[in-house]
Amino acid sequence: MTRQIIQISDIDTSGRLRELRPDWVAAIAEQVQAGEVLPPIEVAPKPQGGWRLLIGGHRVAGHQQAGRTEIEADVADFSADDEPACRMREIKENLVRAELTVLDRAVALAEWKRIYEAQNPLPKRGRPAAGEKIDNLSNIFAERFSEAAARALGVNERSVQRDVEIASIDATVRRELALHPIANNQAELLALARESAARQRRVAAHLLDVASGIGSVADAVAAIDKTPPPERAPAWEKISNTFSKLKEAQQYAFFDAHADAIKSWLKSKKA
């Protein structure tokens, strides 16, 4: 990579996997105005001129908000037309960031899956045709994406499959809910993903309507279907169910952690 100062107006920031967080952009703008030095963004050169943004969407927006017209950038040694390379650079950067929401992570994984499966087609059956070169066994017995991703990320395969399911949510709905609390709730996102695209859009409309007082997919579905909202178990009951499944040593650890509350409760019973 080479490092240089480039014009922000020459950067193509379209088609990004993550929506910008206005609060992050504002925070970065304050840093820029205060004169803090930020890491350079990464871009790929476009054959027709200009740059494609790879990493640093919030930094670009922050510089713009701060009134800057230039930004320091590392220029990749591959072209903006190399779609898999550009996407994988963005995906890998996103997946190592702790601040990703559940939805951000799911979208990144789904895009990785698309690229992976394009580059690792299902193996052919039978013997290879005459003259067909076998360079690598993985080219013949391609792994399922979920297996490869699970190993790379150090998570179980089912976790990857859940993320991919979440990413099946209608793209417009994903963008609309990117800044909503549901974007960081896996159970809610899975429930939404299991609705049709048309119903997902109606659910999103209810969730985004502050006046509706609706805060969950189940409540939104009930409103759409004109049925009573589902009854929810009280918080103590959920904890109790989990507690009953703990081993004795873990239960005792729980008692120790909440000893003061337990003593207070016992005292109230004696009164």
Q: Which residues of 22-47 are buried (b: 16+ CB within 10 A; e: fewer)?
A: eeebeebbebbeeeeeeebbbbbbee
Residue 142 pLDDT: 37
The domain segmentation of the chain, as residue ranges, is 2-79, 100-124+136-168, 171-232, 243-270
**Would you say residue 128 has pLDDT above 60?**
no
Q: What is the DSSP letter of 141?
A: S
Q: Decide which of 1.10.150.120, 3.90.1530.10, 1.10.645.10, 3.40.140.10 is the CATH code for 2-79.
A: 3.90.1530.10
Average pLDDT over residues 230-237: 70
Q: Which residue has the tokens 């003593």?
A: 263
- pLDDT recorded at residue 136: 40
Question: Is pLDDT above 50 for 138?
Answer: no
What pLDDT is recorded for position 231?
67
Q: What is the pLDDT of residues 247-260, one digit of tens each?
A: 888 888 888 888 88
Ranges 47-56, 122-131, 165-174, 239-248: which has the least confidence: 122-131
- The band of 171, judged by pLDDT with boundaries at 50, 70 and 90, is very high
